[in-house]
Amino acid sequence: MRMLACVRKTFLENVRDWKILILTLSLTPFFVYLMYGYLRAAPASYTLLVLNEDRAAGASPDAPGAIGLVAAWTLATHPDGAPLFKVRAVEDEGAGERMVKTREADLLVVIPAGFSSRLQAFRADPSGPPPGLTNRHNPANLRSAMATAMSDYVAFLYASAVTRAPSPIALEARPVAPAANRSEFDLYVPALLVLAVIMVLFTAAASLIKEVDKGTMVRLALSRLTTAELLTAITIVQVVIGVAAVMLSYAAAVSVGYQSQGSWAAMLVVASLATVSVVAISVLVAAFMRTIFELLTVGCFPFFVLMFFSDAMVPLPKIPLFHVAGNVVNASDVLPTSLAVRALNRILNDGAGLGDVWFEMAGIAVLTAAYFAAGIALFRRRHQSPR
């Protein structure tokens, strides 16, 4: 009965603090729409500048020469049919280099004079010198490196088809799993759902800090409410809030065309477990603070740590530490939210079930227990010990 009364009390207090509650529930759906709009507006094609110094090619796009190569670049597409390149002709190499340097364009390709005649000569005699192209790229721009690789690949395919020269290596591409083509936005959705869970850090920590700030921690102790009952009540309320935030964020993603490959049930189980882990971290955070003001200022630091180092917003390079049961453990996996991002990505984008993400769920459970143990010990020492 004491715990049920505490659940009701905690829930009503979260409703009264509607500003923090609305922020928790609405921030991630806002980011879902923001990321969708940004990725839709961002260019899917690479801007390819072409300086054509070969004037011997015919006017037909099918001609085996520079014009045919430019047509091959223009017709190249992504798997979803979107153009791979936005091809623009330039007349001055210096101007093209400046555009690549300032990232107005991703790559400048110079087709030298005599390219068409050398292509024809190589077709007649493959032992002769092959035709050449010159790439002007920006090593500080990752898109420039990708554009170079893609344009070279199209050029190799075109030259091989024109000269009928066989490739020295036979390459075969096989997908590791039959999966639907996923857009860049689709790959962000699991991380955004975990961001909704991370937002619970504020509402969970606030439920504890308010008791300290108002001086009611002593009265709770006199009511014989145990620490376990208090934390259980807070956890129940925060799981409800966390699941609601995840569902609102997921609904926002679905409203702009996202399609999950996995089940809702598996997603909600992982989201609930991840929410409990964030509550455990919130107990540790609350142990160091005494006022809501401190939570909304200093408390932003652990929030940003969780957000950035969990792949919730910015993909980070993986630093493998060791292997457990055939699964790699990375440095960022010390945060349970990092494991949650990985599990939700496998469920939503790869169609995995709960049995396929048992390692991530076990890791979240172990880390949750560790954070709860450290947080409870420190919270008791700082806020519940007699003074």
Residue 327 located in a structural domain: yes
CA 65 to CA 54: how far, in whole Å?
8
Residue 154 located in a structural domain: yes
Structure tokens at 188: 């962000």
**With bands split at pLDDT 50, 70 and 90, how would you rate the model's confidence at 276?**
very high
Helix axes of 142-163 and 66-75: crossing angle, nearest 10 degrees: 120
On whether both 222 and 318 belong to a single domain, the answer is yes
Give the model's pLDDT for residue 59.
Answer: 40
Residue bearing the bigger pLDDT, 50 or 382: 50
On whether both 125 and 107 belong to a single domain, the answer is yes
Per-residue pLDDT tens over the stretch 120-166: 888 887 777 888 899 999 998 888 999 999 999 999 888 888 887 77
On whether both 238 and 337 belong to a single domain, the answer is yes
On whether both 146 and 197 belong to a single domain, the answer is no
Beta bridge pairs of residue 49:
88, 108
Q: What pTM does this model have?
A: 0.76
Residue position matching structure tokens 């075109």: 158
CA 209 to CA 162: how far, in whole Å?
73
Give the model's pLDDT for residue 42.
Answer: 67
On whether both 287 and 221 belong to a single domain, the answer is yes
Q: What CATH number has the domain bearing residue 89?
A: 3.40.1710
- Is 10's pLDDT higher than 80? no
On whether both 259 and 368 belong to a single domain, the answer is yes
On whether both 52 and 30 belong to a single domain, the answer is no
C-alpha distances in angstroms, 287 versus 20, 206, 227?
Answer: 20, 11, 13
Residue that terminates a domain, selected from 115, 135, 163? 163
Q: Could you give the angle at the alpha carbon of 226 between the alpha carbons of 336 and 199, nearest 5°? A: 30
CA 199 to CA 81: how far, in whole Å?
37
Per-residue pLDDT tens over the stretch 49-82: 999 988 654 444 445 667 888 999 999 987 767 7
On whether both 69 and 105 belong to a single domain, the answer is yes
Per-residue pLDDT tens over the stretch 327-350: 888 888 999 999 999 999 999 988
On whether both 70 and 196 belong to a single domain, the answer is no
Of 176, 136, 135, which is closest to residue 156 (Cα–Cα)? 135
Give the model's pLDDT for residue 341.
Answer: 93
Q: Is 39 exposed, middle or buried (0-12, 13-18, 19+ CB in 10 A)?
A: middle
Give the model's pLDDT for residue 226.
Answer: 73
Q: Is 145 exposed, middle or buried (0-12, 13-18, 19+ CB in 10 A)?
A: middle
Give the model's pLDDT for residue 241.
Answer: 93
- Domain residue limits at 369: 2-38+183-384
On whether both 335 and 379 belong to a single domain, the answer is yes
Return the percentage of the chain with pLDDT > 90, whole number: 38
Residue 172 located in a structural domain: no
- Is 193's pLDDT higher than 50? yes
What rounded mean pLDDT belongs to the chain? Answer: 84
> Which residues touch 362 (CB under 8 Å, ≥6 apart)?
none
Residue 174 located in a structural domain: no
- Is 243's pLDDT higher than 90? yes
On whether both 34 and 55 belong to a single domain, the answer is no
Q: Number of structural domains, the chain?
A: 2
Residue position matching structure tokens 């005649």: 117
